[in-house]
Amino acid sequence: MLPYCRIAFSMDWKTLDAEVLVEAGAKSALSQRDPLREDLFPDKDEAKALLATCAEAIDALQDRLYAEQKRSLLVILQGIDTSGKDGTVRGVFNACGPLGVNVTAFGQPNELELKHDYLWRVHQATPRRGLIAIFNRSHYEDVLVVKVKGLAPAAAIERRYAQINAFEHHLTENGVTIVKFMLHISKDEQRKRLQKRLDDPAKHWKFNPGDLEDRALWDDFAAAYETVLDRCSTEHAPWRVIPADKKWRRNAIIASVVRGVLEEMDPQYPAMSWKPEDFAIE
């Protein structure tokens, strides 16, 4: 086995993390990042086994986070249509107790949301102490689709990068750890996944003709993503670009990173003012 295989399977998550992290202030070079990264997890069965181990560990850590009631974790998932945001939620967090995890999907803002600033709806969905919140899309749509389709004035969009960095800094200074994953797939992989949605009747409901309009804007979305990664990967809330052409590899990497981040947070069960031996249950 090659040395890089051992990186993944020895669970040295920091080494793995360095492969996907966008350093604060560094250029993301998105177009040069391989959406496949066969070197990271060459073996599907081993990646799946690691995912299962990490999912269990995430559940145990979430239990401690919930009991501690002091801090929270916000996981942000971004990626173009079919990049696997839903599949990541299902694959990585399926071992967690539903009470401890909130998932919010951000679609087109409704009438009320449009009457507020773009961060209003987002702030309300941030996790309270003890919880993990997962964003399926997020405030980044306001510098992605909104930019690509010109849904807000360019000058307003330009100001948002700094506003987002300040917002996220505010959250992290108030007990929210933020982990951001960009699910990076190739244009060819998206074609295959869209085709599957047409071929499989059970997937028809997932097909949205509007996805083809967005696909036609592939290069514009890629440029908008690159700007996000370059400008909003910060010390307090860094971006990770996840090779996502293979679902099992994507899940194994994300689960490893989430587990690593939670282990670093090291949530503790609270000390009790009583001792078990003080009680006798009849």
Pairing relationship of beta strands 176-184 and 239-243 according to DSSP bridges: parallel
> Cβ closer to ligand ADP: 141 or 245?
141
Q: Taking contact as CB under 6 A, which single stretch among the options 91-99, 105-113, 234-242, 254-262 is the one that binds ligand ADP?
A: 105-113
Packing angle of the helix pair 13-20, 247-265 (nearest 10 deg): 120
User: Smallest distance, Å, CB 93 to ligand ADP?
Assistant: 17
Nearer to ligand ADP, 40 or 134 (CB): 134
- CA-based radius of gyration for the chain: 20
Q: Is residue 120 close enough to count as binding ligand ADP by CB under 6 A?
A: no
User: What x/- string results for residues 200 through 219 when contact with ligand ADP is judged by CB under 6 A?
Assistant: --------x-----------
22: which strand partners?
239
Nearest CB to ligand ADP, comparing residues 142 and 245: 142
Residues of this chain, 161-190, that bind ligand ADP according to CB under 6 A: none
3-class secondary structure, 16? helix
Long-range contacts of 149-157 (CB under 8 A, 24+ apart): 149/217
Dihedral pair phi/psi, residue 54, rounded to 5°: -70, -40
Report whether 144 contacts 220 (CB < 8 A).
Answer: no
* Contact positions with ligand ADP (CB under 6 A) in 246-275: none
Q: Which is nearer to ligand ADP, 70 or 196 (CB)?
A: 196
Stretch that binds ligand ADP, among 64-72, 145-153, 179-187, 242-250 (CB under 6 A): 145-153
Binding mask 47-86 for ligand ADP (x = CB under 6 A): ----------------------------------x-----
Is residue 142 a contact point for ligand ADP (CB under 6 A)? yes
- Residue 101, amino acid: V
Place of tokens 């799946």: 48
CA-to-CA distance for 269 and 255, rounded, in angstroms?
22
| Entry field: residues in the chain | 282
The C-alpha atoms of residue 169 and residue 173 are separated, in whole angstroms, by 6
Output the smallest distance, CB 89 to ligand ADP, in A. Answer: 11
Contacts of 136 (CB under 8 A, 6+ apart): 77, 85, 86, 89, 103, 104, 105, 106
Smallest distance, ligand ADP to C-beta of residue 238, A: 22
141 binds ligand ADP (CB under 6 A): yes
As measured in angstroms, the least distance from the Cβ of 78 to ligand ADP is 10
Contact 8, 50 (CB under 8 A): yes
CA–CA distance, 261 with 173 (Å, rounded to integer): 16
The correct pick among 77, 146, 178, 194 for binding ligand ADP (CB under 6 A) is 146
Query: Can residue 30 be called a binding residue for ligand ADP (CB under 6 A)?
Result: no
Residue 265 CB, nearest approach to ligand ADP (Å): 28
Among 4, 106, 207, 248, binds ligand ADP (CB under 6 A): 106
Task: Please give the residue ranges that form the binding site for ligand ADP (CB under 6 A).
Answer: 81, 106-109, 137, 141-142, 145-146, 151, 208
